[in-house]
Structure 1
Amino acid sequence: MKLAITVHFDGPQARVAAVAFDAWDAPEATRSFVTLIAQLEKPARGEPDLRELHCVMQLLREHALAPELILLDGFVHLDADETPGPGQHLFHALGGRVPVIGVAKASRPGLTAQFEVMREEEAKPLTVTSAGLDIGAAKVRVRGMHGRKRVPTLMKLVARLAKNGE
């Protein structure tokens, strides 16, 4: 089972959602999971923000999930030098056994065109980063996901679940 995961922050609270899928071109999730985190503390000034990691780990524990791969809404690393981002911290927290692919709608100054994925008719690319899986393979998988628009169907679904809980 693969999981697409996103975290939605609302003040001190967060809702983390995941949708399970088996095939990369699946139009629908096989299952969905939502966890509400009642209180999150902001990191101390100068410390890395690991709130997203805490949320994802809580969701995995709460629902006893052991995915073969995680597709994360966001960045695995923050630049071409692989400065750790949320996905890299998640990859290490899972012992380096579960590949993590980050899919972001925005770009970052340190991420060049080699991290971009164009999906069908859209002019603006997605930014794909990965840990535990070659970037070329990660980009092929994201490009092949279901959906005619820029953002794959399952990524839209998990974002809606995280934001609205439904």
Structure 2
Amino acid sequence: MILATDVDYRESNAVAAGILFERWESESPVKEITVRVSNVEAYVPGQFYKRELPCIKALLDTIHDSITCILIDGYVYLGKDRKPGLGKHLWDMLEGQIPVIGVAKSAFADTPEPAELIRGNSIRPLFVTSEGIDAEIARQCVRKMHGENRIPTLLRRVDALCRKGHGARGMGRGAWDWENMLKFFILLRPQCCQTYVYEYSKFQ
């Protein structure tokens, strides 16, 4: 099974979510898991893994299926110097037994261009890094994941799953996402609806 993970935070509490699926092209998960984690560490710039890694570990402790690869929301390596990111620390915690692929939505300073991946009709890249699996193979795996937009279907789903644990909706960790912004603009300017729909589709 392939495992996609994500974590959503509310102050000192978090919900870690995981989706298990069989093939990279899968549209639907085999299983969904959520775990509530209390007393998570405060965010420290440059040490994000100390906050998120315990949450992913708590999630993994509840999974008894055989996992062939783990997808995280973030980086395995940071920048051209390949500084260890969340994914590398996860790889080390697992003693190199399971390949880890990081899929980041935002660019990190000096991220090598080969890490960029354009999907669907989007003009914005995802940033794919990995350990335990060849970097190009990792990008191809993410490329062929189900979904015509920038973010694969199951990565959107696991994001929504962890946020749902807090009663929230949307993509990412911010209060607003592109879908909600689109709805807001349409309410303001109904006559421009088609333009906003086009712009929204380009960024997904």
Q: Give the TM-score taking structure 1 as reference length.
A: 0.94
Q: Which amino acid aligns with 1:20?
A: L
Map of 1:3 onto structure 2: 3
8 Å contact from structure 1 (residues 60, 66) kept in 2: no
Where do 1:48-67 residues align within 5 Å? 48-49=47-48, 50-67=50-67
CA-CA distance at 1:47 after TM superposition: 7.8
Q: Residues of 2 paired with 1:46 and 1:106: CA distance?
A: 16
Identity score, percent: 35
| Structure 1: gaps of 5 or more residues | none
Q: Which amino acid aligns with 2:35?
A: T
Deviation digits for residues 128-160 of structure 1 (CA, Å, limit 9, x no counterpart): 010111110000000000001000000000000
CA 152–48 in structure 1, closer or farther in 2 if over 3 Å, else same:
same
SS of residue paired to 1:27: coil
The number of equivalent residue pairs is 165
Q: Residues of 1 paired with 2:12 and 2:160: CA distance?
A: 19
CA-CA distance at 1:46 after TM superposition: 7.9
Q: Does 1:14 align with 2:18?
A: no
Higher RCO (Cα < 8 Å, 6 or more apart): 1
Q: Which runs of 4+ in 1 moved over 4 A?
A: none
SS of residue paired to 1:137: helix
Aligned residues: CA RMSD: 1.6
Q: Give the TM-score taking structure 2 as reference length.
A: 0.77
8 Å contact from structure 1 (residues 72, 101) kept in 2: yes
Q: Does 1:152 align with 2:135?
A: no
| Structure 2: gaps of 5 or more residues | 168-204
